[in-house]
Structure 1
Amino acid sequence: MSYDRYLSQIFGYIGLKYGSPTLSSIMSNLSPAFTFVLAFIFRMEKVRLQSYTSQEKIIGTLVSISGAIIATVYSGPTLLSTSMNTDWIIGGILLAGQYFLIAFALVAQAKILVEYSVDLIVVLVFSISGLFVAGLAALIMARDLEAWKLRLDVVLATILYMGFSSGFFNVVVQIWVLRLKGPVYVAMFKPLTIVIAVFMGVTILGDSLHLGSVVGGIIITIGFYGVVWGKAKEDHEGALFTQATTDPLLKPHINALEHGS
């Protein structure tokens, strides 16, 4: 899992170099589709073609992948001016690969938790192994000692910002909202990253906004909501069935139905 996380970060940074923050935020909405496909392959997700919830997840996955192809292959005319010339195909493939590896790591982590349910120990081992893999790769790739020196510049500010926002603040807010509203409420706001990335990229970085990115982003967002809502409805139906079969107040009615049938 550590190798997946490390490779996903490498793919993400190189993808940003060839693509843009807008393209990265668009591709990030592929995570539910990739996770659903991998969970199905590893038999952690059941698909019943007769069930409308499974149909929603399958259609949402296909729509998301179609949107990613459009955003990657077709750039289209420039809607907002820019001074950057980026290779969208290379960037799109690398960014899609990043979120595929993240989805693979999530599925592998869930598989491990099924066999070993001590969450904190799994997270601790995962974090330490990730630190070891990233540190070893950094020692091999950055042999110049000057690269290890911290200076009061934009690089240090970026490191501190990423550590605080992604490593601490983002996790705290997500856990807090998860406890209050649940996972579907959190997932609903994820496509807002596209709007934020477009605004920041155009105003601060002088980035470009292409028609293909807009069309692909809209299609991926539709597919994203399809997968998320299909999974939410499936979990809700499962919870209602479990409650109905375990609630003592409902057992007489269930028994009557069983005897009647």
Structure 2
Amino acid sequence: MWMMSNLKLQETVPFVVMVAMEGCTIILTIWVKSVMTNNGMSPFVFVVYTHSLSSLFLLLSSFLFRCCRRDSTQQSVFTWALFVRCFLLGFTGITVSQNLGFLGLSYSSPILVCAMGLMIPSFSFLLSVSLRRAKLDWRSSGFQAKVSGTLISIIGAIVVELYKGEYIRKSSVSSSYWYINQLQLRVEKLGLIFSSEKEHWVVGGLLLATSTLSVSVWNIIQMGTMKLYPQVEVMEVVTFYSLLGTIQSAMLSLFLERNPSAWKLKLNGELLLIVLTAIFGGLVRSRVQHWCMNMKGPYYVPLFKPFGIVFATIFGVSLSANSLCYGSVMGAVITGMGYFIIIWGQIREDEKHDQDHCVDENLESSSERKVPLLQEEDV
């Protein structure tokens, strides 16, 4: 009985934690959208303040980890090549992706952010093919799945970008239940904004697509960096490129945000939002995802990303002061289907690669066993 309960906890706890992570991400996204719309907070200023605080937390965490770990004799060696890679990681992962992402959010809605975020595997696959990092094996079921999933994701992104359809919920309170009406009235008084005007939707989608493409490039650079420098601590690299990305974003914001009053934080939730976003994005989410990947495997965490569509739809219907359309949800669901197909194709390719690797090892071991016998016969 104790073993059974332990196994259930090992299955249930990571699932609940990852679902909660996606829900918290959407709640913070809607909050950021509301503050930018109601208070006029600049997305560039928000990125600088958030990542400055996040970099500070990462520095403290990395310092404490270095002091508390047992093997204190190992030292990291930062070369010029590694500095260039960290500079590119900060540029693609923070400066470009974060600034364009929050700017695109100010023009659109959280559900469009979710839909474009699901395009990361598609962009990564297209980049790997264009850079000849992936083999064009049309007979492989994994490659076919990745191609079809990419096409489905692109169709879903076009749908969520261009098609609106009928309203799921309009901004006026129309529910027949009294307590739901009261909840929505309170939410609308708080001014929780979910979407922007229609004429800005396409602009927001293009900005979010560019941000997603930058994240895909960041993933490729990050994977290459970890392979080339396995002796360097991962958190040290994360801390270093976070600092570089914050400096780059600060320099960029000086040109894009020249209004001095935009840098003054208002004590009406902006400071609290920045602190919570820095703690959640810089420390909590990365630690939790790393823990779940170590426990359940590398594909466990990506499987929960489409849960953001569910939370965005629920919160968009019940806890926001703007309308939500069927077209947006339908396009996001189509993109999520393509996302799952690409992940399945990647899993299939990895399984095939592992099988081929095992076959090669067996052949090598068998040849090593046969060679001495042949030599003895010759002697």
Per the shorter chain, which TM-score range? 0.7 to 0.9
Structure 1 unaligned segments of length 5 or more: list them: 257-261
Q: Does residue 294 of structure 2 align to residue 179 of structure 1?
A: yes
The within-5 A match list for 1:160-239 is 160-239=275-354
Separation in structure 2 between the aligned mates of residue 251 and residue 63 of structure 1, nearest angstrom:
43
Segments ≥4 residues shifted beyond 6 Å: 253-256
Deviation at 1:26, TM superposition (A): 1.5
Structure exhibiting the larger radius of gyration computed from Cα positions: 2
- Amino acid paired to 2:221: A
Q: Does 1:104 align with 2:217?
A: yes
* SS of match in other structure, 2:280: helix
Aligned pairs for 1:97-176 within 5 A: 97-117=210-230, 118=232, 120=234, 122-143=237-258, 146-176=261-291
Which residue in the other structure is 1:86 paired with?
198
**Mapped partners of 2:129, 2:215: distance in 1:** 16
Q: Please report how far the alpha carbon of residue 71 of structure 1 lies from its aligned counterpart in structure 2 after TM superposition.
A: 0.7
Instruction: Report the counterpart of residue 61 of structure 1 in structure 2.
Output: 150
- Percent of aligned pairs with the same amino acid: 32
Match of 2:131 among 39, 42, 51: 42
What SS does structure 1 have at the residue aligned with 2:301? helix
Superposition deviation, residue 255 in structure 1: 9.1
Aligned to 2:122: 33
**Structure 2 counterpart of 1:86, one-letter code:** K
| Cα distance in 2 between the residues matched to 1:254 and 1:49 | 34
Residue identity opposite 1:85 in structure 2: E
Q: How many residues are treated as equivalent by the alignment?
A: 255
Deviations 1:72-119 (A, max 9, x none): 011112122126633322222221121111111212233344444435
Q: 1:247 to 1:82 in 2, by over 3 A?
A: farther
Q: Confirm or deny that 1:10 pairs with 2:111.
A: no
Q: For the residues of structure 2 that align with 1:19 and 1:177, how far apart are their CA atoms?
A: 31
For 2:270 and 2:322, locate their aligned partners in 1 and report how far apart those are by CA, in whole Å: 20
Is contact 1:15-1:90 (8 Å) kept?
A: yes
Partner of 1:259 in structure 2? none
| Residue 125 (structure 1) shift | 3.5
Aligned partners of 2:275, 2:197: CA distance in 1, in Å?
A: 29
Provide the rounded CA distance (Å) in 2 between the counterparts of 1:44 and 1:102.
17
Q: Within 2, Cα distance between the matches of 1:19 and 1:146? A: 24
TM-score (norm 2): 0.61
**Residue 20 of structure 1: which of 93, 96, 109 is its match?**
109
- Tell me, in whole angstroms, the C-alpha distance in 2 between the residues paired with 1:144 and 1:92: 26
Shift of 1:182: 1.1
Q: Which runs of 5+ in 2 are unaligned?
A: 1-87, 173-195, 371-379
Give the TM-score of the pair, scaled to structure 1: 0.87
Amino acid at match of 1:3: F
Measured after TM superposition, the shift of residue 178 of structure 1 is 0.2
- Code of the aligned partner of 1:123: V
- RMSD across aligned positions (CA): 2.6
Higher mean alpha-carbon deviation, 193-202 vs 113-122, is at 113-122
